[in-house]
Amino acid sequence: MNKTDRLLAIVIELQRKGVLRAEDLAGRFETSVRTIYRDMQALSEMGVPVAGAPGVGYSLMEGYFLPPVSFTAKEATALLIGADFVELRLDAEFGTSARSSQEKIEVILPEHVREEAARLRSAIRLLSDRTAVTRGEEKAAFEQVRRAIVQKRKIRFRYSKNLPGPDGSRHSERTADPYGLVFSQGAWVLVALCDLRGDIRHFRLSRMNELTVLEASFEVPPGFNLRDRRSADDRNVIVRMLVDPAVADLVQGSDNFYMETFEPGEEGWLATFRVRQIEELLQWTLGWGAAVRVLEPASLRDRMRAEIDNMRKRY
The reply to whether 210 and 248 lie within a common domain is no
Q: pTM higher than 0.85 for the full model?
A: no
pLDDT tier, 250 (very low <50, low <70, confident <90, very high otherwise): very high
The reply to whether 11 and 50 lie within a common domain is yes
Helix axes 136-151, 92-108, angle to 10 degrees: 90
* Cβ proximity of 220 and 148 under 8 Å: no
Predicted local confidence at residue 256, as pLDDT:
83
Three-state DSSP state, 9: helix
Residue 164 has pLDDT above 60, yes or no: no
For the residues 83-90, what does the mean pLDDT come to?
82
For the residues 68-78, what does the mean pLDDT come to?
79
The reply to whether 142 and 217 lie within a common domain is yes
Q: Give percent of the chain with pLDDT exceeding 70.
A: 89
Predicted local confidence at residue 68, as pLDDT:
61
pLDDT tier, 246 (very low <50, low <70, confident <90, very high otherwise): very high
Nearest to 220 by CA among 180, 169, 262: 180
Q: Which domain holds residue 168?
A: 136-228
* CATH label of the domain that carries residue 222: 2.30.30
* CATH label of the domain that carries residue 290: 3.30.70
Predicted local confidence at residue 230, as pLDDT:
64
pLDDT tier, 46 (very low <50, low <70, confident <90, very high otherwise): confident
> Is residue 129, in this structure, part of any structural domain at all?
no
Predicted local confidence at residue 233, as pLDDT:
63
> Is residue 66, in this structure, part of any structural domain at all?
no
Measured between alpha carbons, how far is 315 from 304 in angstroms, rounded to an integer?
17
Q: How many structural domains is the chain composed of? A: 4
> Is residue 244, in this structure, part of any structural domain at all?
yes
Measured between alpha carbons, how far is 61 from 78 in angstroms, rounded to an integer?
31
Residue 133 has pLDDT above 50, yes or no: no
The reply to whether 155 and 195 lie within a common domain is yes
pLDDT tier, 231 (very low <50, low <70, confident <90, very high otherwise): low
Residue of 126 and 165 predicted with greater confidence: 126
The reply to whether 255 and 200 lie within a common domain is no
Nearest to 190 by CA among 150, 146, 255, 220: 146
* Cβ proximity of 179 and 193 under 8 Å: yes
> Is residue 131, in this structure, part of any structural domain at all?
no
Nearest to 141 by CA among 87, 47, 208, 195: 208
Least confident of 220-229, 234-243, 289-298: 220-229
Predicted local confidence at residue 125, as pLDDT:
67
Whole-angstrom distance between the N-terminal and C-terminal Cα of the chain?
70
DSSP 205: G
- Longest Cα–Cα distance of the chain, Å, equals 86
